[in-house]
Amino acid sequence: MPTVPPSSSFAWPHGKQCAVSLSFDDGRPTQLDRGVAILDAHGVPATFYLTPPWMDQRASEWRDVAQSGHEIGNHTMTHPCTGNLEFTRENPIEDYTLERMDAELARANAVIAELVGVTPTTFAYPCGGTFLGRGEQAASYVPLVAKRFLAGRGYWEPYPNAPGLCDLAHLLGCSFDALTFDQTKKLIERTINEAGWLILVGHNICANDWQGVDPEVLSRICQYLGGNDAVWVDTIAAVAQYVRDARTDASRAVTRA
């Protein structure tokens, strides 16, 4: 993937100064019950990363979400994380091989396509982990994601992405679960100042939950983004495609020069 030379400035579309993407993981019921309506009321497209067994009973609703302009992404079939976390000890990523992970990514894409009607082009790493296996057999599966997807999103990284340099297969994702509006606004303001790309990551849409975005906060964020001419708000796939194309064009221009 080409990068823009550090000395050049990255040009966002339509005179915007930065990009912001809202994303939500796991296909949790509260996303359908509360989140989608808030996003739609403000005209904000978002990216939803689905783990098929957790959403198949409401697949028709997720199909409607996809058809309304939101992005549906891949979040594996089984959500493997490190076995150091109690909830995933029956399926630790330490037991995975690259071949097993590759098969799971393919299976999740196929099931989502069957249930929701779209084939994901971006991926979110469960728990933000990018390595599988143990010891000398440990390996990054970022290259697998790079081969299968336009982009892969991480987690627990409170920084915006630098569009000219970031690895599209391992984008920084910043949790906004349990954050206040003012805390989230500061992240957006930093992104404007750095001309970066902020990817916010949420889970439940509910108040008083360490892994949830307060509905009132989400509404205020959407309202703020909608009224801020400096910010381009779009799905991860849309922004990633723009970044990829812009970097390719910039690389060609440098080569010709």
Secondary structure of the chain as H, E, C letters = CCCCCCCCCCCCHHHCCEEEEEEEECCCHHHHHHHHHHHHHCCCCCEEEECHHHCHHHHHHHHHHHHCCCEEEECCCCCCCCCCCHHHCCCCHHHCCHHHHHHHHHHHHHHHHHHHCCCCCEEECHHHCCEECCHHHCEECHHHHHHHCCEEECCCCCCCECCCCCCCCCECCEECCCCCHHHHHHHHHHHHHHCCEEEEEECEECCCCCCEECHHHHHHHHHHHHCCCCEEECCHHHHHHHHHHHHHHHHHHHHHC
Alpha carbon distance 169, 136 (integer Å) = 23
Predicted TM-score (pTM) of this structure: 0.94
pLDDT of residue 75: 98
pLDDT of residue 87: 84
Say if CB 166 and CB 6 are below 8 A apart. Answer: no
pLDDT of residue 56: 84
Say if CB 153 and CB 124 are below 8 A apart. Answer: yes
Alpha carbon distance 109, 16 (integer Å) = 33
- Amino acid symbol at 102: D
Low-confidence ranges of the chain (pLDDT < 70): 1-8, 250-257
Closest by CA to 171, choosing from 221, 210, 108, 128, is 128
Closest by CA to 163, choosing from 18, 55, 14, 15, is 18
Domain ranges of the chain: 46-256
Alpha carbon distance 145, 49 (integer Å) = 14
pLDDT of residue 122: 99
**CATH class held by domain 46-256:** alpha beta
For residue range 56-95, what is the model confidence (pLDDT) as tens digits?
899 999 999 999 999 999 999 999 999 899 888 888 999 9
pLDDT of residue 255: 55
Q: In angstroms, what is the C-alpha Rg of the chain?
A: 18
